[in-house]
Amino acid sequence: MDIKTVGIVGAGQMGTGIAHVFALAGYDVLLNDISEDALGKGIALIDRNIERQVSKGKVSAEDKAAAMARIRTTTKLPELGPTDLIIEAATERETVKQAIFEDLLPHIQPHTILTSNTSSISITRLASRTDRPEKFMGFHFMNPVPVMQLVELIRGIATDEPTYTALHDVVKKLGKTAASAEDFPAFIVNRILMPMINEAVYTLYEGVGSVKSIDESLKLGANHPMGPLELADFIGLDTCLAIMNVLHDGLADTKYRPCPLLTKYVEAGWLGRKTDRGFYDYR
């Protein structure tokens, strides 16, 4: 099927990054969030991030202008109805995601593919609450979306082959690489990455190392571009905790127990860069 128009729910870190890469690849994008303020901030962020690419000579000023013109915004979810592909990139909470799909269902077209950018929640379960589990998939981008090459494609138990092929083609058109993952808690990337981050928090909690020494050890000792605690702040500590809880509940193994220090930081509202405080202080 020919996908031309894309509806994106959520103008946060992930939703704006996804809108950015789709618009640059020539898709018409309709970006949705609950307030004009969130949409205004989202558009300003996309503008700044494409400008970074213009200043590095990776994108021309004309292509930037064309991409920005391809992005429209709306606070009204039903206006996403006519799009060919919908990507939900809202908060990592199952009830929020389910409510969004429920609200969308009466308005979308029969051919519309529904996807979620969830980093851990069961695709099969999300799909089962819709009228089209065969046209439902996990479509998981990595942060920062304009830079990271990978997109995880996750089939639910009922996803059909044309839907998988259509999304695989979209990933190619975006200039990215698809990795196919089965629908088990946290898929591939976060199944491996989050326990590492959680272990880094335990390493801090047990006093084995300081924030600085833990991050430096992994950067200089294992060639990671960011230390695990810096990366946790970048992803958001609430998201890290939500993913650990999905792993712990879904796989019923104590090795996935979220570190109590991670829980405490989230309870304090220290969520990382987005709140200006996490393992580091950004104020």
Residues that bind ligand CAA (CB under 6 A): 49, 52-53, 56, 119, 142-144, 146-148, 189-190, 193, 225-226, 231, 235, 239
Q: Compute, in degrees rounded to 10, the torsion defined by CA atoms 176, 179, 184, 186.
A: -40
Using the minimum distance from each CB to ligand CAA, give the nearer residue, 112 or 228.
Answer: 228
213 annotated among ligand-binding-site residues? no
Structure tokens at 129: 């609450």
12 annotated among ligand-binding-site residues? yes
| Residue 129 identity (one-letter amino acid) | R
15 annotated among ligand-binding-site residues? yes
51 annotated among ligand-binding-site residues? no
Using the minimum distance from each CB to ligand CAA, give the nearer residue, 3 or 142.
Answer: 142
Q: What angle do CA 56, 60, 65 make, to 5 degrees?
A: 120
Q: How far is the CB of 141 from ligand CAA (least distance, A)?
A: 7
262 exposure class (CB count in 10 Å sphere: 0-12, 13-18, 19+) = buried
Q: How far is the CB of 23 from ligand CAA (least distance, A)?
A: 13
What beta strand segments (E) does 5-122 contain? 5-9, 28-32, 71-74, 85-88, 113-116
Is-contact 110 83, C-beta < 8 A? no
Integer Cα distance of 179 and 160 in angstroms: 17
33 annotated among ligand-binding-site residues? yes
Q: How far is the CB of 147 from ligand CAA (least distance, A)?
A: 4
Is-contact 189 239, C-beta < 8 A? no
| Residue 185 identity (one-letter amino acid) | P
Using the minimum distance from each CB to ligand CAA, give the nearer residue, 127 or 241.
Answer: 241
Q: How far is the CB of 83 from ligand CAA (least distance, A)?
A: 23
Using the minimum distance from each CB to ligand CAA, give the nearer residue, 74 or 217.
Answer: 217
Helix (H, G, I), strand (E, B) or coil at 208: coil
Bridge partner residues of 180 (DSSP): 153
- Could you tell me how far CA 200 lies from the centroid of its own chain? 22
Q: How far is the CB of 111 from ligand CAA (least distance, A)?
A: 28
In this structure, how many other beta carbons lie within 10 angstroms of the beta carbon of residue 134? 15
Integer Cα distance of 126 and 115 in angstroms: 9
Catalytically active residues, by annotation: 119, 140, 152, 190
Using the minimum distance from each CB to ligand CAA, give the nearer residue, 1 or 44.
Answer: 44
Integer Cα distance of 182 and 47 in angstroms: 35
160 annotated among ligand-binding-site residues? no
Which residues fall in the annotated binding site for NAD(+)? Answer: 10-15, 33, 92, 97, 119, 143, 274
Binding residues: 10-15, 33, 92, 97, 119, 143, 274
